[in-house]
């Protein structure tokens, strides 16, 4: 099986606090995995570890076959991380952000790729603008455009829809679907369960750093529905987190 992301036994400790404990899952190429859980469950910690932002205390992470610990640069070359808070360079314009990231990832034909991206994220008129001149939603869009410029094989989103307007949300969902259909492995964390239900193929539910459910959305709902066919992911999530179902 061809996996974009393979996480095995991921553990992250901060002194005595175990933020993530023995977490394992894998995301196939073209698959979208939703990472859900209550506040403080360890979702962002997991995503940051997969993005190579902080080293795990234990376990292995492989991005497109590259071990993140032993081969971090090659692994990172294949991924894009979109944090929940857009952290842009105050002194670079929209266009310069894309140029800069393009060079970091050795993207050929940045100029040609830039225009459709700016158009996709409605930033064409803002290409010469600095981040201070952009709204929160526009900054988020720029952050995501920077992530897409090198056409990564692995996309990691932490609350991707924060600050976007309805049209932006729609376009973002379409972008994610399009890229996963093109073969990218996508992992996204969100509290918007209808988004997860709409976009994701599989879901991993974590609580207190431990995986308490991991399956396709249909299987999860089926297992918890007990004969009901109208169970939403939201209801399934509430049941799982309330009952502390053992890992599946």
Stretch that binds another protein, among 1-9, 107-115, 191-199, 240-248 (CB under 8 A): 107-115
Taking CB under 8 A as the rule, does residue 85 contact another protein?
Answer: yes
Stretch that binds another protein, among 26-34, 104-112, 190-198, 236-244 (CB under 8 A): 104-112
Nearer Cβ to another protein, position 87 or 226? 87
Nearer Cβ to another protein, position 29 or 76? 76
Taking CB under 8 A as the rule, does residue 88 contact another protein?
Answer: yes
Taking CB under 8 A as the rule, does residue 73 contact another protein?
Answer: yes
CA 220 → CA 5, 35, 201, 225, 226, distances in Å?
Answer: 21, 14, 11, 8, 11
Segment (H or E) for 9: strand 3-14
Neighbours of 73 (CB within 10 A): 8
Segment (H or E) for 145: helix 136-148
In whole angstroms, give the CA distance from residue 23 to residue 205.
Answer: 11
Q: Which of 32, 36, 79, 186 binds another protein (CB under 8 A)?
A: 79
Q: Which of 48, 127, 171, 173 binds another protein (CB under 8 A)?
A: 48
Q: Which of 125, 132, 227, 229 binds another protein (CB under 8 A)?
A: 132
Transcribe 146-199 into DSSP letters. Answer: HHHTT--SEEEEESTTTT--HHHHHHHHHHHHHHHHTT-EEEEE-S-HHHHHHH
Nearer Cβ to another protein, position 9 or 55? 55
CA 182 → CA 26, 124, 132, 157, distances in Å?
Answer: 18, 24, 34, 17
Taking CB under 8 A as the rule, does residue 108 contact another protein?
Answer: yes
Instruction: Point out which residues pair with 19 in neighbouring strands.
Output: none
Burial category of 86 from C-beta neighbours within 10 Å (exposed 0-12, middle 13-18, buried 19 and up): buried
Stretch that binds another protein, among 27-35, 45-53, 187-195, 207-215 (CB under 8 A): 45-53
Q: Which of 107, 169, 177, 247 binds another protein (CB under 8 A)?
A: 107
Taking CB under 8 A as the rule, does residue 9 contact another protein?
Answer: no
Stretch that binds another protein, among 90-98, 119-127, 189-197, 221-229 (CB under 8 A): 90-98
For 226, the 3-state DSSP assignment is coil
Nearer Cβ to another protein, position 74 or 201? 74
DSSP secondary structure letter of residue 41: S
Torsional sign, CA 234, 241, 33, 161: positive
Q: What residues line the site for another protein (CB under 8 A)?
A: 14, 19, 45, 48, 51-55, 72-74, 76-77, 79-81, 83, 85, 87-92, 96, 99-100, 102-110, 130, 132
């Amino acid at each position: 099986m061809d996996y974009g992301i393979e996480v095995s036994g991921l553990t992250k400790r901060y002194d005595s606090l175990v933020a993530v404990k023995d977490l394992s899952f894998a995301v196939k190429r073209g698959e979208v995995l939703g990472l859900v859980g209550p506040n403080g469950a360890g979702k962002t910690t997991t995503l940051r570890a997969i993005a190579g932002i902080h080293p795990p205390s234990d376990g292995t992470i492989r991005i497109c076959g590259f071990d993140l610990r032993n081969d971090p640069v090659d692994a990172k070359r294949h991924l894009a991380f979109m944090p929940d808070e857009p952290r842009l360079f105050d002194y670079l314009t929209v266009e310069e952000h894309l140029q800069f990231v393009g060079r970091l990832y050795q993207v050929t034909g940045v100029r040609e790729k830039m225009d459709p991206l700016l158009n996709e994220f409605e930033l064409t008129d803002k290409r010469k603008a600095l981040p201070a001149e952009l709204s929160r939603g526009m900054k988020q869009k720029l952050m995501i455009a920077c992530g897409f410029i090198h056409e990564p094989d692995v996309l990691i989103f932490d609350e991707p829809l924060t600050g976007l307007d309805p049209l932006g949300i729609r376009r973002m969902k379409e972008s994610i679907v399009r890229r996963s259909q093109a073969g990218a492995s996508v992992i996204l964390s969100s509290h918007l369960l209808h988004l997860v239900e709409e976009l994701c193929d599989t879901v991993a539910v974590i609580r207190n750093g431990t995986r308490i459910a991991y399956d396709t959305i249909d299987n999860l709902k089926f297992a918890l529905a007990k004969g009901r066919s109208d169970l939403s992911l939201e209801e399934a999530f509430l049941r799982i987190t309330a009952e502390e179902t053992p890992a599946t």
